[in-house]
């Protein structure tokens, strides 16, 4: 998979297998942060291919939004790979990874932070709450341009 070239580096990379959850994030992003571009990988294997295809001058995403439970390389496996990949000699800093999951299990939350996640957001069922959660995470990790 070839990463799309976005010269300004204002990309949010979503790793999500469910179309409905992708669409919810796309809508929330469009309403709250139209300055950002959403790019989707459908599982961890797809995301690994996306990152390894980056050229040295390709901008990294400003934020990675990671689902926890997916087939073909779930979020836990991707997070372990991602941190190992960035430990290799890499000229740029690692983008933040926020887990966006339906799981509220404290063991899942703890395991993600131990594995190196920057944040963990439980997916609210209510659309208004979901939009507020997305806005909060984006404003914290990817501040709007002045």
What are the residue ranges spanned by the domains of the chain?
11-141
**Taking the model in full, what pTM does it have?**
0.88
In the block, tokens 């690692």 appear at: 94
On whether the 11-141 domain is CATH 3.30.70.2740, my answer is no
Helix (H) or strand (E) holding 13: strand 11-15
* Predicted confidence (pLDDT) per residue in 37-63, tens digit: 999 999 999 999 999 898 877 888 999
Which two structure tokens, joined as six digits, stand for 128? 């208004």
DSSP labels for 35-93?
TSEEEEESSHHHHHHHHHT--TTSPPPSEEEE-S--SSS-HHHHHHHHHHHHHSS-SSP
């Amino acid at each position: 998979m070839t990463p799309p070239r976005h010269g300004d580096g204002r990309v949010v990379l979503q790793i999500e297998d469910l179309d409905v959850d992708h669409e919810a994030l796309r809508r929330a992003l469009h309403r709250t942060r139209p300055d950002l571009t959403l790019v989707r990988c459908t599982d961890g294997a797809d995301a690994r291919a996306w990152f390894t295809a980056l050229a040295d001058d390709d901008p990294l995403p400003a934020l990675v939004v990671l689902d926890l439970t997916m087939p073909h390389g779930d979020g836990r496996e991707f997070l372990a790979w991602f941190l190992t990949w960035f430990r290799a000699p890499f000229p740029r800093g690692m983008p933040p990874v926020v887990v966006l999951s339906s799981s509220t299990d404290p063991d899942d939350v703890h395991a993600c932070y131990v594995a190196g996640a920057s944040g963990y957001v439980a997916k609210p069922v209510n659309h208004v709450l979901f939009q507020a959660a997305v806005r909060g995470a984006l404003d914290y990790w990817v501040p709007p341009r002045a």
